[in-house]
Structure 1
Amino acid sequence: MAYFGGEELSSLPSDLDLVTFGQRLRHLRRTRGLTLSELGERVGRAPSQLSLLENGKREPKLSLLTALAQTLAVSVEELLSRQPPSRRAQLEIAVEEAQRDPLYQELDLPHLKVSKRVPNDVLEHLVGLYEELKRRSIKPTATPEEARRANAELRGQMRERGNYFEEIEKAAQKTLDAVGYSGGALSQGQILSIVTHHGFTLRYVQDLPQSVRSVTDTHNRRLYLQRESLGMHTPRTILLQTLGHFVLEHEQPRDFADFLRQRVEANYFAAAVLIPESTAVPYLQEAKKARDLSVEDLRDVYSVSYEMAAHRFTNLAYRHLDLVCHFIRNDETGIIYKAYENDGLVFPADDTGAIEGQRMCRYWAGRQVFTSPDRYSIYYQYTDKPNGTHWCVAHVDPSRERNFAITLGVPYKESRWFRGRETTNRTQSNCPSGECCIRPPAELAARWEGNVWPSARAHSHVLSAMPSGTFPGVDETDVYSFLERHADD
């Protein structure tokens, strides 16, 4: 009888790899100095039948498997091992599997039968070329339309779950528990402890490549970033966003949609660590009871940016405060860069459902804040819209490159829970579908229509593909050169 792992074998393993089995059989036969004919005579099989076995084209019978193991003086377990018997065998298996891949077959090349005369280095080259071909085929390059559609689909998924990710909240809390977090804003020492806890070391550098926010050397478990803020992202935010990919066990993104999903999840993790659910929820619940909810207080208690505080509020509002809301990040011209809603607000959108890149109504709080006498103070406003009135709080987060307004809004009936509800600022908007700010006032149109030729700023990005690469927009040559410079640090 045949035995496998100490137990009687009644059938072949379901995961038996015929190619690997054939390679092991050939390797053992040759090391015993036997030809196919000689082995065939000893086990009572024709050489042609054994050749089919060695080439991975036939499954062995149990009786033949036992006879082969006895003749070759090995156990059945060794004969069925999933490990190739040598590097040469591993390469031959890899070449054979590559040629079966539809991606390889699209090259329309004749099948290569690997003989003993083919040198190992040739096989190494073939396997390397196939791996690069496969890698390039899955690079998440996307056209702008595909990217917008992926963003719209992701935003829909966020709306369905109230922008709350329970599994990421648990991962963040587990991380905080590991470093003894008890409340308040995280100290730099606690953040460094988080890095160490997850098996990384932190290196601050001045020569970080221009196309990245951070670089992680996964082989040496090093995180590289610079001390200066990048746009509206502080070093500790970037650090936790980077660490989030590894805590959440992300693999290289399969496509652009996967890249976006991972980015959202990593950002969520960073916010959940910096504004922990365990302490933020009781704080917000008390503020709601006092009818004194405010984004600025959440910002100050946890020492984060206004944008992170507002966005984190959307994570917790529906699940823990029984509130629906919306969030917008836009520039001074009204172009929307980021948005979320589960309160019925109707955003301007293109035919793919994408919001990003659209221009919001000039009467919404996110644009009115820029016309406020003090644009950097907190701005409150009621806006009457076709489907109801919203109360909003907006704030301009200054940056070196460009100022962005951050808006958090709720339906009128929910404004009673918020600081700033007494505001007398009020506007009316019929956007995005009615007569409003999209069309100029009738008297201006009558005077100027047909008598002007404005030259728009170039929008070449509309016609080009999204940046290519496993991680879109990243210059891989710069990153690899950077790691090479720091390899011996």
Structure 2
Amino acid sequence: MAATALELSTLGHRIRHERLAHGFTLDDLGERVGVAGSQLSLIENGKREPKLSLLQAIAAATGVDVTDLLSPEPPNRRAALEIELERAQSGAVFRRLGIAPVRVTKSMSDETIESILGLHRELQRRERETIATPEEARRANTELRLRMREKGNYLADIERLAEKQLKAAGHTTGALTHRTVSIMAEQLGFELLYVNDLPHSARSVTDLENGRIYLPPASIPGGHGLRSMALQAMAHRLLGHQRPVDYADFLQQRLEINYYAACCLMPETASVAFLQQAKKDRNLAVEDFRDAFGVTHEAAGMRMTNLLTAHLGIRLHFLRVDGSGAISRVYENDDLPLPMDVTGAIEGQVVCRHFSARSAFEEQNRTTEHYQYTDTPAGTFWCSTQTGTTTDGEFSITVGVPFDDARWFRGRETASRASSTCPDESCCRRPPAEIAARWEGKAWPSARVHMQMFSPLPRGTFPGVEEAEVYAFLDRHAEG
């Protein structure tokens, strides 16, 4: 196998280092090993790969082993700088600029090379940060969603890991307590600390050096959220995550830690037993599943997407939709027709106004689930929708299945029925012809601009997290 350019460059530097250490010129060493000095120059500059017999002769002439010459480590700091610069100048990022590479000479100081390398490192850093353009990020998210669709949104390895950790912490049945979560952290060598000055850009911060996981104050509403945050932080260590190399890697890690937290809060064995009994009773309901494990409605709905297909053979869909009808979270493997852009992304698209995910906002009684059958070009679907409100406005959580599987769910007797022909724009986006004729050219609405349209994609190794703020936070608490 031919040596790589990097291997040849390192080899050349090691040969030059040994030659100069013995005070040989190129011609001096060439005479001892039987080749012209010009040939050795090509080898030392990484332009030519020497035969093994020549390497053996060079090793003998300089009093070293062949293995020393073939070591992948640069022989000294100067060689390391020159090799790094050569690699940077041969990379695609630099070559795209169309700038001639800097030629390193003997008279060039190490400090000069360091300065040039500093520019290259910054250039590469900016390239890594900007690689996840909004379009690329949407493509990465879409690819991840499709991969999970193929798996039925089920990750067996993480399911087994969660059950193992729960068993080790002594958890058997019922809702997972904060105490048990603390025990799980202790078994990994971490202490859970609740602080008031958590960096605004981070949900939690893990101090790997001192074995601490910092979380928001324990008094904030919603114990499920704090348990989930702690479990997600632990999951990074349990799953062996490294710093994400790109946006796709970041999304994959986020999915895996969320999945692990869900597995701990709603363990597979207990959850499947609960769902199987509910199916047997023809009484499957998100709200019952939610209440049995003390989690949010959204968490229970998402957990159903992990388990219903793999264990009960039920295909389904999940939607989180905001008050304007935009989809913020989605999963489907039942062929529900959903809007998507040219990249295949569904998030951010506006769902049909006839779907229960939107019609539920019109209900007077928001405390119970809203049930509805919807006829679509892909068939009839039954849906259960629960609405809620946050500081950001209204939202709805929907779990639905194809018509034939509605028989297993509470609410299947509903008489509420709607019809959707989306993506046909005449369904709910285009006004009826007579109304359009009446008002066309006579109306001028003022659009509500969503500021997120102008927000740049989060930057950094951990997108959206301000590392300076996080490190200052860790310094502050490490001293305390």
Q: Per the shorter chain, which TM-score range?
A: 0.7 to 0.9
- Alignment partner, residue 367 of structure 1: 358
Preserved CA contact (<8 Å) 1:92 1:123: yes
1:282 maps to which residue? Answer: 273
Task: Indicate the larger mover: 285-294 or 318-327.
Answer: 285-294
Unaligned runs of 5+ residues in structure 1 are 1-10
Contact kept, 8 Å, 2:175 with 2:293, in 1: the verdict is yes
* Kept after mapping to 1: 8 A contact 2:224/2:294: no
Who is 2:38 aligned against?
48
* In structure 2, C-alpha distance between the alignment counterparts of 1:213 and 1:104, rounded to whole Å: 36
Q: Which residue of 2 aligns with 1:349?
A: 340
CA distance in 1, matches of 2:208, 2:114: 24
* Distance verdict in 2 for CA 1:329–1:47, change over 3 Å: same
Distance in structure 1 (CA, Å) of the matches to 2:86 and 2:117: 10
Gaps of 5+ in 2: none
CA distance in 2 between counterparts of 1:38 and 1:230 reads: 79
Q: Which amino acid aligns with 2:355?
A: W
Deviates more, 1:306-315 or 1:364-373: 364-373
The 1:331–1:72 alpha-carbon spacing in structure 2 relative to 1, beyond 3 Å, is same
For 1:230 and 1:18, the matched residues in 2 are separated by 61
SS in 2 for 1:390: strand
Cα distance in 2 for residues equivalent to 1:378 and 1:114: 71
Give the CA deviation at 1:199: 5.1
How far the C-alpha of 1:263 sits from its partner, in A, is 2.7
Question: TM-score under structure 2 normalisation?
Answer: 0.86
Amino acid paired to 1:341: E
2:444 aligned residue: 453
Aligned match for 2:74, one of 80, 84, 91: 84
Say if 1:111 and 1:16 are closer, same or farther in 2 by CA, change over 3 A.
closer
**Aligned ranges 1:362-441 → 2 under 5 Å:** 362-433=353-424, 435-440=426-431
* Counterpart-to-counterpart distance in 1, 2:190 and 2:51: 50
Q: State whether structure 2 residue 316 is matched by structure 1 residue 328.
A: no
Q: In the aligned structure 1, how far is the partner of 2:449 from the partner of 2:194?
A: 37
1:65 pairs with 2:65: no
Q: After alignment, is 98-107 or 173-182 more displaced?
A: 173-182
CA deviation vs aligned residue, 1:124-176 (integer Å, no higher than 9, x gap): 33333322222221225545444444444433333232222334334434544
CA-CA distance at 1:46 after TM superposition: 3.2
Q: Percent identity?
A: 51
Instruction: Spell out, residue by residue over 1:222-277, the C-alpha distance to the aligned partner (whole angstroms, 9 max, x if none).
Output: 54332366999812222333443444444444544444343333322222232222
Q: Is the 8 A contact 2:337 2:376 kept in 1?
A: no
Distance change in 2, residues 1:129/1:351 (3 Å)? closer
Give, in whole Å, the separation in 1 of the partners of 2:204 and 2:306.
Answer: 25
* Mapping for residues 37-436 of structure 1, pairs under 5 Å: 37-198=27-188, 200-217=190-207, 222-227=212-217, 234-433=225-424, 435-436=426-427
* TM-aligned CA deviation for residue 417 of structure 1: 1.1
Q: Taking structure 1 as the reference length, what is the TM-score of the superposition?
A: 0.85
Q: Distance in 2 between matches of 1:321 and 1:207?
A: 45
Note the C-alpha offset of 1:90: 2.0
Q: Aligned pair in 2 of structure 1 residues 189, 22: CA closer, same or farther (>3 Å)? A: farther
Alignment partners' CA distance in 2, 1:121 and 1:202:
45
CA 1:382 to 1:47, structure 2 compared with 1: closer, same or farther past 3 Å? Answer: same
220 and 121 in structure 1: CA distance in 2 versus 1, 3 angstrom threshold:
farther
Farther off after superposition, 73-82 or 349-358: 349-358
Distance of 2:65 and 2:168 partners within structure 1: 47
Cα distance between partner residues in 1 of 2:326 and 2:130:
26
Change over 3 Å in CA distance of 1:292–1:450 after alignment to 2: same
Tell me the C-alpha RMSD between the 2 structures.
Answer: 3.4
Cα deviation, residue 486, structure 1: 4.0
